[in-house]
Amino acid sequence: LANAKISVIGAGQVGATTAVRIAEKELTREVVLVDIVEGLPQGKALDEMEASPIEGFDTEIIGTNDYKDTENSDIVVITSGLPRKPGMSRDDLLSVNVKIVKEVTEQVAKYSPNSIIIVVTNPLDAMVYTASKVSGFADNKVIGQAGCLDSTRFKRFIAWEAGVSVKSVEAMTLGGHGDDMVPLVSYSTIRGVPISQFFTKEQIDRLVDRTRNGGGEIVKLLKTGSAFYATSSAVVQMIDSIVRDKKDVLPCAVKTQGKYGLEKDLFVGLPVKLGKSGIEEIVELKMSGEELKALKVSGDHVKELCKRVEELKLL
């Protein structure tokens, strides 16, 4: 996907930072940043373009309120929608964000019928379901970002706890993007050595808990919005694997196809191989009975949310 056309819908904290990260890494030549607020995507795009001589990148960011400018995108990132405020769960955003994601997905399907959609708006798994249903795109082309964010948080906390470089840490979080997500402790390692050899059970429980509440911890501190630096890094990790056809194995929200004993139409975070055609394979890891059970519980929660989406009768 050399010189992929990438559009980012929503020029708020997550969307604009995503565009900036794509540009500064020169992942492609052109990024289109769209928002309904007039002047916002144009202003942010112009500001970042004026940083390009210092940062030394030639990627163009085009700010616009017109979906026509997104025409024939290869990848579209959907970040439009409300973020959480303190005291809110991601699920509280459901009814308002379903409307926004539906409206945006219709425009994406109209102007970029061959694109890969990456959904970021919360409550994530239900929004991926919405985008999939509204677009009618093939299952390999509708992907949710959540696992990469939850996993980078888990890795950061492990590295702090052990006092080691983040580069020595591997960890992965599966399941829905909620408090019942499933950090895979048995596959979390420091240079390949399981973390259980470094930490006590209490330490591990604390790290898992902090990961599960990672988003809430930021919301509580920021008060007026939610996380966006690590969120946008996670999106760009996925885009990088797609545009460079790297086949990186990353946890993403995808239709399960019945893998891991989950219902086949459910969207939930699983490890997938990401390449130029989007999801190229759902990677099946051996998991303990306890982890599979936790994944099922998380999946059931997502199922409930999708039922709530259906009850709104908007799709």
CB of 45 to ligand APR, least distance (A): 13
The Cα–Cα gap between 146 and 13 comes to 16
Task: Identify whether 301 is a catalytic site residue.
Answer: no
Could you say which residues in the range 113-172 bind ligand APR, by CB under 6 A? 120-122
Looking at the Cβ atoms of 283 and 312, the one nearer to ligand APR is 312
Q: Is 35 in the site for ligand APR (CB under 6 A)?
A: yes
Out of 177, 212, 255, 301, the active site residue is 177
Residue of 162, 225, 280, 285 interacting with ligand APR (CB under 6 A): 225
CB of 301 to ligand APR, least distance (A): 17
CB of 41 to ligand APR, least distance (A): 8
Q: What is the 3-state secondary structure (H, E, C) of the chain?
A: CCCCEEEEECCCHHHHHHHHHHHHCCCCCEEEEECCCCCHHHHHHHHHHCCHHHHCCCCEEEEECCHHHHCCCCEEEECCCCCCCCCCCHHHHHHHHHHHHHHHHHHHHHHCCCCEEEECCCCHHHHHHHHHHHHCCCHHHEEECCHHHHHHHHHHHHHHHHCCCHHHEECCEEECCCCCCEECHHHCEECCEEHHHCCCHHHHHHHHHHHHCHHHHHHHHHCCCCCCHHHHHHHHHHHHHHHCCCCEEEEEEEECCCHHHCCCCCEEEEEEEEECCEEEEECCCCCCHHHHHHHHHHHHHHHHHHHHHHHCCCC
Could you say which residues in the range 13-32 bind ligand APR, by CB under 6 A? 13-15
Q: Is 269 in the site for ligand APR (CB under 6 A)?
A: no
CB of 211 to ligand APR, least distance (A): 16
Amino acid at position 71, single letter: E
Residue of 231, 237, 256, 298 interacting with ligand APR (CB under 6 A): 231
CB of 76 to ligand APR, least distance (A): 12
CB of 179 to ligand APR, least distance (A): 14
Residue of 1, 8, 31, 81 interacting with ligand APR (CB under 6 A): 81
Sign of the alpha-carbon dihedral angle for 301, 266, 230, 84 = negative
Q: Shortest Cβ contact with ligand APR: which residue?
A: 12
Looking at the Cβ atoms of 7 and 188, the one nearer to ligand APR is 7
Q: Is 103 in the site for ligand APR (CB under 6 A)?
A: yes
Residue of 4, 8, 9, 185 interacting with ligand APR (CB under 6 A): 9
- Positions touching ligand APR (CB under 6 A) are 9-15, 35-37, 40, 79-84, 93, 97, 100, 103-104, 120-122, 225-226, 228, 231
- Active-site residues, by number, are 177
